[in-house]
């Protein structure tokens, strides 16, 4: 297998010590693929993209796909994230998309982002998935006066509003390092593991076969079909979707090698905060929030009263290194929320955000590989984007035209030099943190 990080990061026998796992409506373990089998569409990855594709194939095209997952549904990023169903999916600004592909493509992407949030909302209602929703909207908090001035000087966007420090405090979003913020009306928080497990239950009810503990170790063309080999079985399919995001094996297919960059993101969840602690901090809102740093933090007060705080900056998935990163993350949390310093960490875990060489998701057929598709690269905002893209990619998997935005049909470039991605990450994080302190 071709992967960037230590083997422990891919050990599907070990579930993360997440708050979501501790409180989820667990799914009985799904058995592995055994022996020889055939299917019209095989999907690698039982996360948001893969399960939405399987549901759309079954419900709209009459195709019962077979989904193979290296672990169990929700083990990967779909069960580890912060539960932000929000705008996003690319690291490109609208102006950058317009320069690359034209103003129409930029508008098309913005429409997709908004529709993606509604896709999640529809899934939750359609399949009666309990998800502990948070309030509507999100806010980006300026970590410096300079950043807030930049927010104020940027061209206004629809459904956004600027909040100064007084307005933040009035809305229960106070903190010593927050100098203002840009709010957005779209989005809501949810329990992400319950969401993906609800999708898995719905897919099974629709006739989809989901095989757990079935890591694909080889993928080869055989005439008009593809053959997927696992440790205990072999699956033959007319079309294949690779939907493994940051947990991808970059040799499956070889075309993927060097085109993605898994980046570690870690989350801690505290005990329930007392009313006095919330009042002392001035943070009483459950709104989704993140800061304007390049090495960003994201956080929200959960409906149960616990506080979720996440951040980037880890460079090793070795268990000892991740344990050490908790110390860093905890210090950043206490600096930003000093009134919460007495609320100990009860859960801490990490996972991969998936970047691409084009800074945008890819959701299309792999070039020169007829019948082989990929849907990945959500840039840390996959709850909504991956859900909607999974639905959309079902059309070409069924032999129809691909309806996803043009931005997502551009094959990602390779990172160069691909073999130095992790050393470059270490240098990049150091530089970004220095710039964050300066600006």
**Does residue 99 sit within a domain?**
no
pLDDT, mean of residues 158-178:
97
Is the bond preceding 417 in cis, omega lying within 30 degrees of 0? yes
Q: Confidence class of residue 1 from pLDDT cuts 50, 70 and 90?
A: low
Range of the domain at 42: 7-82+193-260+357-416
- The residues near 435 (Cβ < 8 Å, ≥ 6 apart) are 294
What are the tokens at 214? Answer: 């079935």
Assess whether 301 and 249 both reside in one domain: no
**Does residue 178 sit within a domain?**
yes
Residue 230's alpha-carbon distances to 74, 114, 233, 264, in angstroms, are 19, 38, 5, 27
Query: Cβ distance 73 to 210 under 8 Å?
Result: yes
Ranking 209-223, 360-374, 416-430 by mean pLDDT, the lowest is 416-430
Assess whether 69 and 177 both reside in one domain: no
**Does residue 404 sit within a domain?**
yes
Give the number of other Cβ atoms within 10 Å of residue 234's Cβ.
15
pLDDT, mean of residues 283-301:
97
Query: Cβ distance 74 to 415 under 8 Å?
Result: no
Assess whether 276 and 408 both reside in one domain: no
pLDDT, mean of residues 82-107:
97
Query: Cβ distance 8 to 319 under 8 Å?
Result: yes
Query: Cβ distance 53 to 394 under 8 Å?
Result: yes
Query: Cβ distance 163 to 285 under 8 Å?
Result: no
Burial class of residue 139, CB neighbours in 10 A (0-12, 13-18, 19+): buried
- The two most distant CA atoms of the chain are separated, in Å, by 67
pLDDT, mean of residues 209-222:
97
Q: Please count the structural domains in the chain.
A: 2
pLDDT at 16: 96
CATH code for the domain in which residue 368 is found = 3.50.50.60
Indicate if the alpha-carbon torsion angle 396, 226, 213, 244 is positive or negative.
Answer: negative
- The residue that leads in pLDDT, 154 or 439, is 154
Assess whether 368 and 411 both reside in one domain: yes
Long-range contacts at 150-154 (CB < 8 A, ≥ 24 apart): 151/180, 151/181, 151/182, 151/292, 152/180
Assess whether 373 and 243 both reside in one domain: yes
Assess whether 268 and 323 both reside in one domain: yes
**Does residue 422 sit within a domain?**
no
Assess whether 253 and 226 both reside in one domain: yes
**Does residue 107 sit within a domain?**
no
Assess whether 201 and 174 both reside in one domain: no
pLDDT digit string, tens, across residues 360-416: 999 999 999 999 999 999 999 999 999 999 999 999 999 999 999 999 999 999 999
Report the chain's mean pLDDT, rounded to a whole number: 97
pLDDT at 25: 86
**Does residue 25 sit within a domain?**
yes
Burial class of residue 325, CB neighbours in 10 A (0-12, 13-18, 19+): buried
Per-residue burial over 7-32, b = 16 or more CB atoms within 10 Å of its CB, e = otherwise: eebbeeeeebebbbbeebeebeebeb
Give 284-340 as a DSSP string: ----EEEES-SS-EEEEE-TTSEEEEEEE-----SHHHHHHHHHHHHHHHHHH-GGG
Assess whether 341 and 385 both reside in one domain: no
Assess whether 57 and 13 both reside in one domain: yes
CATH code for the domain in which residue 177 is found = 3.30.9.10
Assess whether 275 and 240 both reside in one domain: no
**Does residue 400 sit within a domain?**
yes
**Does residue 87 sit within a domain?**
no
Residue 432's alpha-carbon distances to 126, 233, 417, 421, 437, in angstroms, are 42, 46, 20, 16, 9
Extended strands (E) in 142-279: 160-163, 181-184, 188-189, 209-211, 218-222, 225-229, 233-242, 260-272
Query: Cβ distance 177 to 337 under 8 Å?
Result: no
Indicate if the alpha-carbon torsion angle 294, 310, 139, 409 is positive or negative.
Answer: positive
Assess whether 20 and 62 both reside in one domain: yes
End-to-end CA distance of the chain: 41
pLDDT at 179: 97
């Amino acid at each position: 297998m071709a992967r960037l990080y230590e083997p422990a990061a891919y050990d599907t026998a070990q579930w993360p010590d997440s708050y979501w796992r501790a409180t989820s409506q667990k799914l009985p373990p799904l058995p592995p693929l055994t022996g020889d089998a055939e299917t019209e569409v095989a999907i690698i990855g039982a996360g948001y993209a893969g399960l939405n594709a399987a549901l759309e194939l079954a419900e709209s095209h009459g195709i019962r796909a077979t989904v193979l997952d290296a672990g169990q549904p929700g083990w990967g990023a779909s069960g580890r994230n912060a539960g932000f169903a929000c705008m996003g999916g690319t690291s490109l600004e609208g102006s950058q998309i317009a320069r690359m592909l034209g103003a129409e493509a930029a508008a098309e992407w913005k429409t997709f982002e908004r529709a993606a949030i509604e896709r999640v909302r529809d899934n939750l209602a359609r399949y009666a998935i309990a998800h502990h929703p948070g309030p509507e909207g999100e806010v980006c908090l300026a970590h410096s006066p300079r950043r807030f001035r930049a927010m104020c000087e940027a061209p206004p966007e629809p459904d956004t509003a600027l909040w100064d420090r007084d307005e933040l405090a009035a809305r229960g979003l106070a903190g010593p390092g927050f100098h203002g913020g840009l709010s957005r009306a779209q989005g809501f928080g949810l329990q992400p593991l319950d969401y993906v497990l609800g999708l898995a239950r719905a897919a099974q009810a629709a006739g989809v076969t989901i095989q757990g503990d079935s890591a694909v170790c080889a993928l080869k063309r055989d005439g008009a079909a593809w053959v997927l080999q696992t440790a205990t079985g072999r699956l033959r399919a007319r079309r294949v979707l690779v939907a493994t995001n940051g947990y991808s094996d970059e040799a499956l297919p070889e075309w993927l090698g060097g085109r993605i960059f898994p980046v570690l993101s870690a989350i801690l969840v505290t005990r329930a905060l007392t009313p006095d602690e919330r009042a002392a901090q001035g943070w009483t809102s459950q709104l989704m929030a993140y800061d304007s740093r390049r090495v960003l933090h994201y956080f929200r007060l959960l409906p149960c009263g616990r506080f979720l705080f996440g951040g980037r900056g880890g460079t090793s998935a070795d268990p000892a290194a991740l344990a050490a990163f908790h110390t860093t993350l905890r210090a950043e949390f206490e600096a930003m929320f000093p009134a919460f310093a007495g609320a100990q960490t009860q859960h801490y875990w990490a996972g991969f955000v998936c970047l691409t060489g084009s800074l945008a998701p890819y959701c299309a057929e792999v070039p020169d590989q007829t019948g082989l598709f990929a849907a990945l690269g959500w840039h840390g905002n996959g709850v909504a984007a991956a859900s909607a893209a999974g639905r959309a990619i079902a059309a070409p998997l069924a032999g129809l035209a691909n309806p996803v935005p043009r931005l997502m049909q551009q094959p990602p470039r390779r990172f160069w030099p691909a073999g130095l991605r992790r050393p470059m990450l270490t240098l990049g994080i150091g530089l970004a943190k220095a710039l964050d302190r300066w600006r």
